[in-house]
């Protein structure tokens, strides 16, 4: 089944002087899915998200969010009106109380969901009477999430939403995101926490040094990807080892490690025909992430 796209970029590039923060990035985010956006520190995740929101302009390339052009200032206003964003800087009015800020934000959104507001106030135990500037970092994140989720947006973009949350709150947030997705909201979120991504994402995009290095359904990764370790009796067999399904190969001496996304039987048969001793092991998201970023660095 092909999914409608809520985000689409083509060759998106952002340069800061000589730093190429995002390089030739073409990606899609599908409707009603949870898409995890992974990458090391400085990989270009926040820069990509800021371009999608029209907060910074691409150096080159194009992008659309909900069909609106990210480079057109008028259309990017519409993007920000239609989607919800929770970023590193929560951008909340510190001088208001929590209750005032909720009331103030509610007044801008006709589709505001009072039931979501009420249940998240309860779940997150938000201190309604306190000034926003006086609440903890984790509470500010929770408040920003409430303000985003109660709007019931078509798309919610979150930049490291679990930063600063305690383990219980992280579980609550992940559950809320799944509920929101079930109710029809598309979710695009960046994270360094592979276990969280593995827990809720339908699809995973990985970038490294500003470039897309992996785009897969999580179920495909968990069901089909595996590591194949090969030990050859001589080194000369390796150059011929290039088959369908091989995503990455690392070679050290007579040993090779292959990350395969499909065709495991074919790869194993080929390796055995070259007299290699073969071992196949399943992988998780963490293995694949480490494999890919290690190779890149
Ligand atoms: N305003 C800026 N001026 C100059 N360089 C910048 C600016 N913003 C980001 N960069 C650089 O662009 C690259 C990508 O940064 P970005 O913040 O997008 O990465 P990230 O994947 O979000 O990292 P993290 O996971 O650490 O938040 C980095 O090398 C960063 O130093």
Model confidence pLDDT, tens digit, residues 165-193: 889 888 988 988 998 899 899 999 999 88
The residue among 165, 192, 218 that closes a domain is 218
Please report, for the domain that includes residue 212, its CATH number: 3.40.50.300
Residues 141 and 207 occupy one common structural domain = yes
CATH number at residue 272: 3.30.70
3-state helix/strand/coil string of 199-255: HHCCEEEEEECCEEEEEEEHHHHHHHCEEEEEECCCHHHHHHCCCCCEEEEEEECCE
Pocket perturbation via mutation, ligand 1, pick of 19, 36, 194, 205 by most ligand atoms within 8 A of CB: 19
| End-of-domain residue from the set 218, 251, 266 | 218
Report, as an integer, the average pLDDT of 156-169: 88
Task: Select from 218, 247, 277 the last residue of a domain.
Answer: 218
Query: If pLDDT is split at 50, 70 and 90, which confidence band does 273 have?
Result: confident
Is 237 a residue whose pLDDT tops 60?
no
Q: Are residues 55 and 170 in the same domain?
A: yes
Strands 226-231 and 246-252, by their bridges, are: unpaired
Confirm or reject: Cβ of 206 under 6 Å from ligand 1.
no
The pLDDT of residue 254 is above 70: yes
21 lines ligand 1 (CB under 6 A): yes
**Which atom of ligand 1 lies at the shortest distance from residue 192's CA?**
25
- Given a cut of 60, whether residue 145 has pLDDT beyond it is yes
Residue nearest to atom 7 of ligand 1 (CA): 16
Same domain, 183 and 155: yes
- Say if ligand 1 is within 6 A of residue 104 CB: no
Do 184 and 105 fall within a single domain?
Answer: yes
- Residue range(s) defining the domain that contains residue 285: 225-296
Q: Residue 146 pLDDT > 70, yes or no?
A: yes
Same domain, 28 and 166: yes
Structure tokens at 78: 């519409």
Asked if the model's pLDDT at residue 63 lies above 90, the reply is yes
Least confident piece of the model among 60-69, 174-183, 196-205: 174-183
Res. 157: pLDDT tops 60? yes
Instruction: Tell me the pLDDT tens digit for each residue of 90-140.
Output: 666 778 899 999 999 999 888 899 998 999 999 889 999 999 989 888 888
Distance CA 12, CA 284 (A): 29
Number of domains in the chain: 2
Residue of the CA atom closest to atom 6 of ligand 1: 16
Of 20, 22, 46, the one to substitute when testing ligand 1's pocket (max ligand atoms within 8 A of C-beta) is 46
- Same-domain status, 208 and 230: no
Spacing, Cα 246 to ligand 1 middle (Å):
31
Ligand 1 centroid – CA 67 distance (Å) = 26
In terms of domains, do 45 and 128 share one? Answer: yes
- Do 72 and 25 lie in one domain? The reply is yes
Q: For residue 286, report the distance from its CA to the centre of ligand 1, in Å.
A: 23
Task: Looking at the structure, tell me whether residues 209 and 270 fall in a common domain.
Answer: no
pLDDT over threshold 80, residue 253 = yes
Return mean pLDDT, the chain. Answer: 89
- The tens digit of pLDDT for each residue in 283-292 reads 999 988 888 8
Q: Are 143 and 100 in contact (CB under 8 A)?
A: no
Of 181, 117, 176, 190, which Cα lies nearest the Cα of 154?
181
230 and 107, same structural domain? no
């Amino acid at each position: 089944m092909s999914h409608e796209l809520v985000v689409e970029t083509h060759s998106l590039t952002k340069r800061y002087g000589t730093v190429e923060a995002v390089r030739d990035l073409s990606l899609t985010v599908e409707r009603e899915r949870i898409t995890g956006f992974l990458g090391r520190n400085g990989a270009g995740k926040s820069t990509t998200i800021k371009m999608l929101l029209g907060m910074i302009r691409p150096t080159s390339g194009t992008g659309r969010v909900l069909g609106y052009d990210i480079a057109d200032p008028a259309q990017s206003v519409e993007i920000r009106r239609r989607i919800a964003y929770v970023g590193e800087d929560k951008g909340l009015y510190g001088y208001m109380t929590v209750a005032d800020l909720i009331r103030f934000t509610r007044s801008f959104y006709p589709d505001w969901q009072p039931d979501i507001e009420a249940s998240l106030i309860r779940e997150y135990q938000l201190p309604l009477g306190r000034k926003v500037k006086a609440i903890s970092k984790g509470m500010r994140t929770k408040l920003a999430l409430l303000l985003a989720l109660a709007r019931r947006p078509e798309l919610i973009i979150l930049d490291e939403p679990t930063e600063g949350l305690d383990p219980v709150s992280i579980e609550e947030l992940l559950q809320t995101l799944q509920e929101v997705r079930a109710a029809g909201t598309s979710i695009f979120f960046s994270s360094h926490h592979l276990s969280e991504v593995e827990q809720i994402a339908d699809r995973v995009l990985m970038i490294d040094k500003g470039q897309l290095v992996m785009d897969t359904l999580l179920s495909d990764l968990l069901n089909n990807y595996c590591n194949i370790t090969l030990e050859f009796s001589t080194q000369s067999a390796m150059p011929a080892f290039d088959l369908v399904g091989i995503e990455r190969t690392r070679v050290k001496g007579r040993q090779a490690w292959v990350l395969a996304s499909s065709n495991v039987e074919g790869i194993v048969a080929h390796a055995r025909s070259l007299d290699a001793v073969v071992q196949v092991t399943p992988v998780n998201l963490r293995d694949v992430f480490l494999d890919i970023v290690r190779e890149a660095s």
